[in-house]
Each structure stands twice: as C-alpha cells, then as structure tokens.
Amino acid sequence: MSTQPVEGCQRKENWGSRIGVVLAVAGSAVGLGNFLRFPGQAVNNGGGAFMIPYILSFLLVGIPIAWCEWTIGRLGGRYGQNNAPGIMFAIWRRSPAKLLGALALLVPVVIYMYYILLEAWCLDYAIHFATGRFDHLFAETTRNASGHADQIKAVVGATRDFFHTNCGLKAHGSLLAGGRMIWVVLFSFLVNFVIIYRGVTKGIESFCKWAMPLLILCAIVILVRVLTLPHISAGLGFMWNPDWARLRDAKVWLAAAGQIFFSLSVGFGLILVYASYLRENDDVVLTSLSASSTNEFCEVILGGMIVVPAAFLFLGAAGAKGGTFDLGFITVPAIMHFMPLGRLFGAMWFGLLFLAAVTSSLSMLQPAIAFLEDGFGLRRRASVAVLGLVTAIGAAFTMYFSKGALALDHTDFWCNLFMIVAATGMVLMFGWVIGAERGVEEMNRGADFRVPRFMPVLLRYVTPAFLVAILVAWTWQTAPSHLERMNPDKQARIAARAVYAGVVKKHYAGRKLAKKEMEQKTAALLGAEKDAAIDAAKLPAWLADATVAGGHGKELSVAEAAARRAAEARSDANIARYVFLGIVAFLILLYVLADIACRTRIGRSIRRVEDEGIAWEAAK
C-alpha cells in the first residue's frame, strides 16, 4: 500500500489498535437505542417472543450489511478516501454512487441535530440526580401522599411534569427561553466538537477506549443492583414471558427489524467512514462481529434486564410499559425514588447514558468532517467550524419547535426512512455492482476467519429482498398518517372538531353513554369524519354558545378556542413540512457538493492512486 501523500485525499490517519476500532464502532452502535428503545420495543411487542424476529433480523440484515459496509469502507480507504461520496465513487464511477454518498452524509448529520438534545437531557438528568435536586422534588411531591399507590402517582406525576417542562415539551420556544438547558446543550456540543477536533485516533478512539468500558461497567453495577432486588423474578417474568400469538402480527416483525437497524446503526455511512481508516489487510470480518456482539450484549443483557423489570417491581405493570421517552425520562427517575441509593444509581445511569450518547454522536460528525477535508481540502479547524455552524442551526430549529417534541419527531421519521433507503442502496451496490462473489472475496482478505459460503447468495438476493420488504411495509404503515400530519388544512379541521367534540362529551357526561353511542351523537352533531369542517350555523345553541377553559383561568367561547387550536395545528403541520423540505434541500445540496468534489479533488486523488497501480481491479 502506498504511503505517499495523494493530493488532498491522502489517508491521514489509521486506527491505533484493533480494540480501539471495535470500541469506536461499538460506541457508535451502543446508545439510547440499547438502554431505552430496546426494552420499550420488546415489552410492547411480545416480550420473549420478540426475540425471534429480532434475532432473524440480526442475522439477515444486521450482520450481512455490517460486513458489506466494513468491506466497502476499507476499500475506499485504499483510494485515500475517508468520506462516503469519495468511497462510493472510487468503487462505482456513476451518479447513483454520489447520491448514495450524499445520503450517507445526510443521515448522520441530520440525526445529530436532534440526538444532541437527547444527549443533553441525559446529562441534565445526571446533574439533577448528582446534586440531589430530584430528591428535593420527590420530597415535596410525596409530602401529602399516603399509601404506596398515592406515592407512585405523585412521583410519576412529578417526573412527568419535570420532563415536559424541563425538556420543553409544553410549548415551542420554551427551551430557548428557559435558560439552563441551552447551556447543557452547548456544553454537550462542545464535548463532541473538541473530541472530533482532536481527530480519529487521538479524539474518537481515545475517548471510546475509556468511555465504553466505563459505561459498560456502570451498567453492570446497576444490573447487579437490580437483579439482587427482592422479587425481581416477577419483573423479569413480566419483561420476558413470551407472548407467541404476537408473532402473527406484522407490526412486531417490523418493530424488530427497525430496532436492529437503529441499534446497530449500519447501512448509512458511519461504519463506511470508520472502516476507511483501517489498513488494507486489517481484518473486517471478526472486527465487525466483535462490534456487533458488543452492541447486542449491551442491548439484550444490559438494556433488557434493567429498566423494565425494575419499573415493574416499583411501579407495577402500568408503569413498566412505555415508549422510549416515557420509559427513559419519566419512569426511570421515578424508579430511583423507590430504589435504595436511588440518587447514586440515578446519577450513574444518566451518566452512562450520556457517555453512550456521546460515543454515538461522535460517529455522526466524522463523516461530514472527512468529506469537508477530503473533498474541499479544508483544514480541521475550518471543517469543524463549518459543521459546527450547520449542526447548530439544525439543532436550534429542533430545540425551538420542541412542543410535543414536534421537530424531533418529524426529523426522526425521515431519517429512519432515509436510513433504510441508504442501506438498501449500499447492499445492492455490493451485490450487483461490485458483485457479491468478488465483494465477499475482498471481505475475506486479511480476515481472521472466512464468512460462510452462502454469503454471496444472501447478499445478492435475500438481504436486499428483506430490506425492500421492510421499506415497503414500513412506508405502507407509517407514510399515510405522517403525510396527514403535514397537511395544514386537514390538521386545522381535525383540531377544531376535537374542541367541539370535547364540549359534546362534557354535555353528555352525566348520561354515562357507551362509547359507541357517544360517537354516534358526536357524528350527528359534527359530522362523522374526524376532519369534518364545522358549520357553526347548524349547531344547536347549547353547543354554539358553550365556553371552554382557555388556560390561565380564562374562559373562551368554543368558536374562539377552536380557532386557536386550529391555528396551532396549522402551524405544527407547516413545521412538519419545513422539516421535510429542509431535509430534501439539504440532500440536494450535499449531492451537488459531492458531485463537485468528485469532479475535482476527489476525482483527481482517485486517479492518482490508480496511476500508482494501487487500484482494486474490480473498481471500474
């Protein structure tokens, strides 16, 4: 392999050690998805039965795509490319390769724009536990609660209120106006950019080398604490009792595949870039498996046995079922109130989540840094500054439109879609452009053991088919409701009707009507469709003249309240549109930049490498 510098694109760095690269990639994979998302998904999707589609997805999608990505990345590194467009273009000199490269830049950077918020929340919670502020909050809220059930209610109510206020979920702009959270976000930003500025070996690798063992150690300590709680077997039973009937539900299969994707963070460019810092004959097969296994250990063993069993033990079945946010930021703090030494364990838990989040977010920044440096010859300082500015603008947007986590939610939705598209593109490129047999040969070069013989068939047919099926099913299931949320007129009508429906419900409250009867009455007055337009002239007087609480102790006429809610809903739908348009515009910009770079700097450096006779013969 050449060690001569190639203009603008010479390989500047290599990983310092095998364990370093494994920990860096595992660091990217291990994150909030392991400790919060996974338990939520498993407990809501059949418990132990969830593991069947989960393991199948791991074998059919997770491991094969990870191997493809590692191989393509290492190959790109041979051409002096550490950036996704360059890596793809070196292997396939066509426009779709640049588009795939642009996608692989887009997804991580956009995820960073909201992930940094979650990261900051974790840090903020850790600080609250460490400084005893949660203890104080609990002491205040439980003062008047008598009996265990009352205590649970008071504590969960307090943590819910704390989460909604502290994390800006109640109103747009509240996070920016509130003061403290901005500093926590800024600090988290700074931590990321300082590490990135130090480079792959001195920054990312050194950080992950101590952060990963430390966070795993903390998680093991907490796991031991949880497993030694009296009656914990009931909690474990609640989490893992298989509900086999759920396997007939397609949603469960989709959830399992989605979890594998999110958790391993494979297929959309992170591993591509990390693998490009490998040397030509460094093993990719075992290295990839080691990183994936570390992720699975953290997910199934550590993530699967802490939160939900403990929540069941202290809060009961109702408290133990929840989505990622509820489980993470409402349930866990509540558990800590009931657990002996809860303050210490709370600080430790959120501290480890913060570390896990940082090791993930670092991996979202490196692809863009590498692109700015390789593609445009920017120095480290300039590339860090440019990326800092771009991500700060995106994060400020997500932070400002924080009511109900609106911007975060929409951004996450589109990222999930683009993630699967990028992964499908990557595996198709591997199987059909490079050629599965050739690709697998390259995969096996320098490997500590060879991949199974059926791998080419799997990569050419099975994995892409599985991915396309996921893509279609996922789009089918989620796209209609999501598109509806982007329709301002419709959202305005739904919101207005809901206000009137509330009045109708209150009006008939005394009669104790069955749900169906209630629906019929509402439909007769307001129209059957949930987005029916309200014709005020046709309403009975009791409804048209009703008043509703408008907040701050004010009463509003129902028409006024409906108009207000409609305006809010309209603006939320517009924000959803801006998120989508913003992401698409960003993708186009990245494609144009990738195109320019491939025509100039990146193209020249690839040709230089080829002229030196280093080219991989399949790359034509």
Residues interacting with ligand PFF, by CB under 6 A? 28-29, 31-34, 108, 111, 262-263, 265, 270, 360, 363-364
Cβ-based nearer residue to ligand PFF, 291 or 503 = 291
Would you say 517 and 504 are in contact if contact means Cβ atoms under 8 Å apart?
no
Q: Smallest gap, in angstroms, from Cβ of residue 254 to ligand PFF?
A: 17
Residue 16 token pair:
């310092």
Rounded alpha-carbon distances, angstroms, from residue 368 to 85, 141, 160, 375: 10, 46, 36, 10
Q: Smallest gap, in angstroms, from Cβ of residue 580 to ligand PFF?
A: 19
Q: Smallest gap, in angstroms, from Cβ of residue 270 to ligand PFF?
A: 5
Give the separation between CA 81 and CA 208, rounded to whole angstroms: 23
**Exposure of 63 in the CB half-sphere (CA atoms within 13 A):** 20
Cβ-based nearer residue to ligand PFF, 62 or 342 = 62
DSSP readout, 498-563?
HHHHHHHHHHTGGG---HHHHHHHHHHHH-SSTTPPP-GGGS-HHHHT-EEE-STT-EEEHHHHHH
Cβ-based nearer residue to ligand PFF, 35 or 314 = 35
Would you say 438 and 612 are in contact if contact means Cβ atoms under 8 Å apart?
no
Q: Smallest gap, in angstroms, from Cβ of residue 145 to ligand PFF?
A: 35
Q: State whether residue 549 is helix, strand or coil.
A: strand
Q: Smallest gap, in angstroms, from Cβ of residue 106 to ligand PFF?
A: 11
Q: Give the CA angle between residues 11, 2, 19 to the nearest 5°.
A: 55
| CA neighbor of 107 nearest in space, from 586, 619, 606, 589 | 586
Q: Smallest gap, in angstroms, from Cβ of residue 115 to ligand PFF?
A: 7
Would you say 102 and 302 are in contact if contact means Cβ atoms under 8 Å apart?
no
**Residue 197 burial by Cβ neighbours in a 10 Å radius (0-12, 13-18, 19+):** middle
Question: Cβ neighbours of residue 523 under 8 Å, at least 6 residues apart?
Answer: none
Cβ-based nearer residue to ligand PFF, 34 or 192 = 34
Cβ-based nearer residue to ligand PFF, 134 or 371 = 371
Q: State whether residue 6 is helix, strand or coil.
A: coil
Q: Smallest gap, in angstroms, from Cβ of residue 102 to ligand PFF?
A: 15
Would you say 208 and 24 are in contact if contact means Cβ atoms under 8 Å apart?
yes
Q: Smallest gap, in angstroms, from Cβ of residue 184 to ligand PFF?
A: 19
Cβ-based nearer residue to ligand PFF, 116 or 429 = 116
Using the Cα atoms of residue 261, residue 263, residue 264 and residue 269 in order, give the sign of their dihedral: positive
Cβ-based nearer residue to ligand PFF, 298 or 429 = 298
Q: Give residue for tokens 């005893």.
A: 132
Give the separation between CA 359 and CA 366, rounded to whole angstroms: 11
Residue 245 token pair:
């009937």
Cβ-based nearer residue to ligand PFF, 79 or 114 = 114
Would you say 580 and 414 are in contact if contact means Cβ atoms under 8 Å apart?
yes
Would you say 286 and 17 are in contact if contact means Cβ atoms under 8 Å apart?
no
Give the separation between CA 221 and CA 226, rounded to whole angstroms: 9
Residue 289 token pair:
């498996």
Q: Smallest gap, in angstroms, from Cβ of residue 215 to ligand PFF?
A: 12
Cβ-based nearer residue to ligand PFF, 270 or 546 = 270
Q: Smallest gap, in angstroms, from Cβ of residue 379 to ligand PFF?
A: 25
Question: Cβ neighbours of residue 464 under 8 Å, at least 6 residues apart?
Answer: 424, 427, 428, 431
Q: Smallest gap, in angstroms, from Cβ of residue 612 to ligand PFF?
A: 34
Cβ-based nearer residue to ligand PFF, 27 or 464 = 27
Cβ-based nearer residue to ligand PFF, 27 or 47 = 27
